[in-house]
Chains A and B, each alone.
Chain A
Amino acid sequence: MNEPIKKKLLIVEDDEDILFVLTDFFESHGYKVLTALNGLLALELLEKNEFPNLVLLDMMMPIMNGWQFRDEFVARYDNECPIIVMTAAADAKKRSEEIGAAAWVAKPFNLDNILKLVKKFER
C-alpha cells in the first residue's frame, strides 16, 4: 500500500466536547490528530511524538495556558510550526498577534472554515 504521509495536527483545548468533534472531523479529512487538555500535557506529548505540521491552540486553559505553552514551545523547539489560535475572547485578533500566531478563529466557529485555514497554513 502506498498511502500518502498523513499531515499531523496538535490540538490543545481544555473542552472535551470541542476536542471530540475536532478530532473526529480532522481524522475524517485524513489528518493524524494529537490532542492535549492543556499546555503542559501538550509539551509532554511532543516529547514522545513526531512534530506536528500545525497546532490548533486554545488560550484559556487551566494548568498551562496558551501564552505559557507558546513560550515553552518556542524555547524548546525553535521550530516555525504554525499556530492557529481558537479563542472565545472579544479581542481574538490581539491575542493571536501577542503570540505571533499564523491565524485565529473566533469561537464558535464553522468546521469547514477551520479546515480551510489549516490547509492554508500547514507545513
Chain B
Amino acid sequence: MTVRHEEEITKAKIGFGSLDIDELNFKHIFEKVPSPYLILDLNYNIVACTDAYIGITKSERSQILLRNVFDVFPDDPNDLDARGSLNLKKSLDRVKKTKKTDIMSIMKYNIPDPDSVNNAFLERYWQTSNFPLFDDAGELVFIINYVDDVTSFVKIRNKANSTELANLQLNETRIFLESILDNIPSIVFVKDAKELKYLKVNKACEAFAGAPQEALIGKTDYDVFSNEQAAVFIGQDREVLASGKNMDMGEEEMDLPTGKRIIHTIKVPLRDQNRNNLYLIGISEDITDKVELRKAQIAQKASEEMLKRKNQFLDTAAHELRTPITSLSLLIQFAQKKLERGLPLKFDLLERLKRPAERLNRLVIDLLDMSRLERGQLVLIRQKTDIVDLITKCVEDFRIQAPRRKLNFETQNREMIIDIDPVRINQVLSNLIDNALKYADQSKIDIKLEEKVNGVRVTVRDYGPGIPKEQHESIFSAFSRGSSDATIKASGLGLGLSVCQGIINLHNGIIGLESVERNGSAFYFELPKTIVKK
C-alpha cells in the first residue's frame, strides 16, 4: 500500500476533507505506512505522522501532534552552522507558493536526543522532499513531508573525502619534496637502515655517479665502489646508525669512473618514534673544484713569496758583492792616480788588494753553499774528528792572521771524538771568529768547548758592542728569509751566519746567540755526540 501516488493522495485528501469515511481506520492505515511521512497544515503544524517517522526522529506521537514542526524540531543550539529549520521552511514556503513538489538537497538537521539529560542533540543528515496536497477545489490544504535519514551515508562519504584529501596532500608534499631534492646542487641519497641499499638518489647524485637512478636503486656501496672504498662508507653508515646522530665525514677522496673526486658528506640517521633506525640519509657536496682552487691559491701565494725572497736575496747578494768590488775599484783608481802623478806605489797596496779579492772569493763560496743548502744539495762528509784538535788549529790560524788580537781557547778536555764534517764545522767556527774580530773591534775573544750530556757546545764570545735583542732571530736568516729593511740596515753580516745555520742544522745541531747590548755577543753551536743515522 502506498500513498505516494498523486491520484491516491488526492482520494485520501477528499477523505480527510469530508470526514465521511472511517477516520480512525484511515489514520491507522496511514500511520502504518513503512516510510517516514509527516503531514503539515499550511501553518506547518503537524497534523499526522507515520510510525516510521516517529522511529527515525526519536520522538513520540503524543508529543508532536498538532504542534508546530519548528517547535518540535528546533535547530541544535550547539551547532553554530545549523541551517536545518531555515532550509526546511524555505522548501515548505516554495511548495505553498508554487504548489509543486520540492526536493531538497541533503541537509544537516540535528535532532534532540531523548535519552540525554542535558538537552543534547544527535547529528543527523536528511534527504527531504515536500509534496503539496490539494482538496477537491484544487486548493492547497496540506504539505506532505518525506524524510530519509542519510546520516551514515554522509558520514561514510565525508570520511572517504577526507582520506582522499589526505592522499592528495601527501602526494603534493611528495612532489614538492622530490622537486626540491632533484633541483638542489647537493648530492642526496637515501639508504635503508638494515641492508644499506640505495632507496632513493637525487639528480645531482645521478650526475655525480654517472649512472641513472635505476642503476643505483637496490644496490649497496659494494656494487658501486671498490671493495676498499665501500667498506669505508658502509663502516661510516653503521657508525652513524649506531650513534643515532648526524656525522660530518669531512673531506674524502673518491675514485669514480670519471676520475678522482673530493667530496664532503654529512650522514643523517632517520629513526621512528621507538628509536628504530629506518633510513640513512647522505648529503654530499663535490668540493673537488673548491679544493683545487684552494690548492692553486696556496701554490700561487707560495710562489709569490718565493719570488719575493729570491728578489730580496739577489738585492742583498748584489750589495754584498759590490762592497769588495768598490774596494778593488777604489784601490785601482788610487794606484792609477799615483802613477799619473809619477808617485811610487808602495808594497802594502798590493797587500790591500788581496783582502777584497779574498772577500769576493769567500762570498762566491758562501753563495754557492747557500744555494746548495737551499736546494738540499749540500752533503756532509762525516768522519770521526777530534773537535779539540779542530778548534786548536782554527784558533792558531786566526792568531797568525790577526797577531794583535787576543784569542783564548778554553776546554776541560784533551780529546773529544765526534762524528762530524770537519771541513764544514771549521767553516762555521771560522765564520764566528771572523765576525767577532770584525764587529768587536779590539775586544779579546774567548772560545770555549764544553761537554754536554748528549753533545758538545762551542762558544765564541766577544766583548764588543753586542747585538740588539730584536735582531737575534733575523741575524741567522739575513739572506734567506730576513732581508727586510731592518735586517739589511742592522746586520750587514752577509751570508755567513745563514750558511753556518744550514751546516749546523745538517748536523742535527743547534746554533744560537746570547748577547747583551753593549756587553758583547756569544755565538754558540751544539753538536750531538752520537749521530743518529737516518
**Known contacts A89-B319, A107-B322, A107-B323; is A65 also within 8 Å of B352 by CB?**
no
The yes or no answer to B331 lying at the interface (CB within 8 A) is: yes
Chain A residues near B328 (CB-CB < 8 A): 108
The yes or no answer to A78 lying at the interface (CB within 8 A) is: no
Shortest CB distance B430–A (Å) = 18
Judging by beta carbons under 8 Å apart, are B330 and A111 in contact? yes
Chain A residues near B337 (CB-CB < 8 A): 25, 28, 111
Judging by beta carbons under 8 Å apart, are A108 and B329 in contact? yes
Instruction: Please pick, from B318, B319, B334, B465, the residue contacting A24 in the complex, using a CB distance under 8 A.
Output: B334
Judging by beta carbons under 8 Å apart, are A88 and B326 in contact? yes
Judging by beta carbons under 8 Å apart, are A21 and B315 in contact? no
Instruction: State the CA gap A25–B356 with chains docked (Å).
Output: 19
Chain A residues near B325 (CB-CB < 8 A): 107-108
With CB as the reference atom, state the residue of chain B lying closest to A24.
B334
The yes or no answer to A121 lying at the interface (CB within 8 A) is: no
Judging by beta carbons under 8 Å apart, are B441 and A37 in contact? yes
Binds A, one of B119-127, B268-276, B397-405, B488-496: B488-496
The yes or no answer to B372 lying at the interface (CB within 8 A) is: no
Within 8 A of B (CB), among A55-83: 59-63, 65, 67
**Known contacts A17-B355, A90-B315, A90-B318; is A60 also within 8 Å of B488 by CB?**
yes
Interface centre among A14, A15, A59, A61 (most CB of B within 10 A): A15
The yes or no answer to A102 lying at the interface (CB within 8 A) is: no
Instruction: State the CA gap A116–B396 with chains docked (Å).
Output: 47
Instruction: Please pick, from B352, B441, B465, B492, the residue contacting A60 in the complex, using a CB distance under 8 A.
Output: B492
Instruction: State the CA gap A57–B333 with chains docked (Å).
Output: 20
Judging by beta carbons under 8 Å apart, are B330 and A59 in contact? no
Shortest CB distance B441–A (Å) = 7
Contact flags A1-39 to B (C-beta < 8 A → 1, else 0): 000000000000011011011101100100000000100
Instruction: State the CA gap A21–B355 with chains docked (Å).
Output: 14
The yes or no answer to B327 lying at the interface (CB within 8 A) is: yes
Instruction: State the CA gap A21–B349 with chains docked (Å).
Output: 10
Judging by beta carbons under 8 Å apart, are A63 and B465 in contact? yes
Chain B residues near A49 (CB-CB < 8 A): none
With CB as the reference atom, state the residue of chain B lying closest to A89.
B319
The yes or no answer to B439 lying at the interface (CB within 8 A) is: yes
Judging by beta carbons under 8 Å apart, are B489 and A67 in contact? yes
Contact flags B362-382 to A (C-beta < 8 A → 1, else 0): 000000000000000000000
With CB as the reference atom, state the residue of chain A lying closest to B494.
A60
Judging by beta carbons under 8 Å apart, are A63 and B439 in contact? yes
Chain B residues near A37 (CB-CB < 8 A): 441
**Known contacts A18-B330, A60-B489, A62-B492; is A108 also within 8 Å of B322 by CB?**
yes
Judging by beta carbons under 8 Å apart, are A88 and B323 in contact? yes
Chain B residues near A17 (CB-CB < 8 A): 327, 330-331, 352, 355-356
Judging by beta carbons under 8 Å apart, are A15 and B492 in contact? no
What 7 A-B pairs come out closest when comparing CB atoms?
A88-B322, A108-B329, A17-B327, A108-B326, A107-B326, A21-B330, A60-B492
Q: A21-B331, A88-B319, A90-B319 are in contact. List 20 more A-B contacts (CB 8 A).
A: A15-B327, A17-B355, A17-B356, A18-B326, A18-B330, A21-B330, A28-B337, A40-B465, A59-B489, A62-B438, A62-B491, A63-B439, A65-B490, A88-B323, A89-B319, A108-B322, A108-B326, A108-B328, A108-B330, A109-B326
What are 26 of the A-B contact pairs (CB < 8 Å)? A14-B492, A17-B327, A17-B330, A18-B326, A21-B334, A22-B330, A25-B337, A60-B319, A60-B488, A62-B465, A62-B492, A65-B489, A65-B490, A88-B319, A88-B320, A88-B322, A88-B323, A89-B319, A90-B318, A107-B325, A107-B326, A108-B322, A108-B325, A109-B326, A109-B329, A111-B333
Interface residues of B (CB under 8 A from A): 315, 318-320, 322-323, 325-331, 333-334, 337, 352, 355-356, 438-439, 441, 465, 488-492
